[in-house]
Amino acid sequence: MAALGPIDYFNVQDKMAGREIDRGRLAETIRSNQAGEALTARGQDIQIRGQNISAQNAALSREIQRAELQEKALDRQIARESNQLKLEELKQKQADVRQKADIARADRQAAAQGAVDTFSTALDSLNEIEQSPGLSKAVGIRSAFPTVPGSDAANFEARLDTFKAQTFLPMVQSLKGMGALSDAEGKKLSDAVGALSPKMSEKAFRDSIGKIRNQLESKLSTVKKQFDYQEPVQNMPGQQSTTGSNFSSLWGD
């Protein structure tokens, strides 16, 4: 380097700096591509799990239908049978068939519960965002001002970011896999959630949340019908839930 003239020296320095910049750009591109591949793989994995749930639900429904048909056929045989030994044998077969049907119904209910819980988590998160004391302090004109860390506005922004990135997108992938959402419906919901922004007026923000909630509740109803979901039995008045007194939100409220 010392043997080079001033112009050649600076030309070499520029080339070295350019190569360093190119290496930095390449590294950033690689990191970006890896992050995108990870997100894609995550979405595919969630959708595959959803497809597995859908296939499981279909198989269980077929098993329940077969058991119900077998039970009716056994009912007719029992009504005609006069031999006591054969009658007892038919009744035992009927009891076995009923047990299989009950097990299949319980398994289908468990699968349905997972789907219902996915919707409930999204709806609960949406309600927490809407009811957050920081909403009115962070949207509209106030969004133009810096957010103070630890403030209500900062908490609201964190909740919104968590809902959009960690709660909602995986939920859409899962529901598409289960057949509860079409690609068009999933895109419509994703676009609506993605459009939620503190730059909106408070009225526009709340209106958007209301539309998203209506769509989620409508699809929740569809999933319940799809899985023949049975609502859990509510506690009688005066009984206290074993978990209710220890409830806290995802953000520790």
38 pLDDT higher than 50 = no
* 150-158 LR contacts (CB < 8 Å, sep 24+): 155/251, 156/129, 156/132, 157/198, 158/251
3-state secondary structure of 235: coil
13 pLDDT higher than 60 = no
12 pLDDT higher than 70 = no
Contact in structure between 153 and 132 (CB atoms under 8 Å):
no
231-247 confidence digits (pLDDT tens): 877 665 555 544 444 44
Share of the chain above pLDDT 70, in %: 70
Give the domain ranges of the chain: 9-42, 55-227
129-168 confidence digits (pLDDT tens): 999 998 988 888 888 788 888 888 898 898 898 888 877 8
| Model confidence band, residue 43 (pLDDT cutoffs 50, 70, 90) | very low
pTM summary value: 0.58
73 sits in which H/E element: helix 6-80
pLDDT score, position 15? 60
Q: Output 34 or 193, whichever has higher pLDDT.
A: 193
